[in-house]
Amino acid sequence: MPKGNLYVVSGPSGAGKSTICRLVRKMLGINLATSATTREPRTGEVDGRDYYFLTKEEFLKKRENGDFLETATVHGNYYGTLKSEVENRMVKGENVILEIDVQGGLQVRDQYPGANLIFFKTPTENDLEARLRGRKTDSEETIQLRLANSIKELEYEKEYDITIINHTVEQACNELKKIIEEKSK
């Protein structure tokens, strides 16, 4: 039975991963595997669509049961990808995009060596800060934490197959779309 391709998209908060993945997913009809998290939902986010919002206890129980493909602690919250989210789709021959933390990306590669790891970043750190502030969803403390973590996350870029520098939404979408289309031939 043919299997779909697995794409792992990672990079610092504010690099545009969510926006780009959402647009490319629409263009190509690709499912974005829904991650689980213990963080609180942002305005407009829906449980089961944007994330599976779990309590810390629920998350830890699922992790203990081996239900996750990868997990990470990011900005003080747990995140993870349920194995069932990926495997059910890939068995059907569907392509799947995981939008996850850099640590999780490397965990996925260990379990799926054929996964395509794509790293997103902004042209400069100033661009990253401007994008984080432009969201108007995070406190100053959270923004500072995300900026500090982004410097650490940039060190993982060399572990990824491809880097996309998000100068504009259109350019980054076109690059990601081209990568997926070429790998799907």
Contact by Cβ (8 Å): 184, 27: no
Task: Please say if the pLDDT value at position 1 is more than 50.
Answer: no
Q: Residues comprising the binding site for ATP?
A: 11-18
pLDDT digits (tens, 9 = 90+) for 39-91: 999 899 999 999 999 999 999 999 999 999 999 887 789 999 999 989 888 99
Helix (H) or strand (E) holding 96: strand 96-99
Residues 27 and 37 in one domain: no
Known binding-site residues equal: 11-18
- Cβ–Cβ < 8 Å for 107, 63: no
Domain final residue, candidates 70, 93, 116: 93
- Number of domains making up the chain: 2
Residue 133's domain comprises 1-31+95-184
> pLDDT of 141-165, one tens digit each?
888 888 888 888 889 999 999 999 9
Which of 53, 76, 93 is a domain's end point? 93
Residues 6+ apart with CB under 8 A from 150: 12, 13, 14, 125, 128
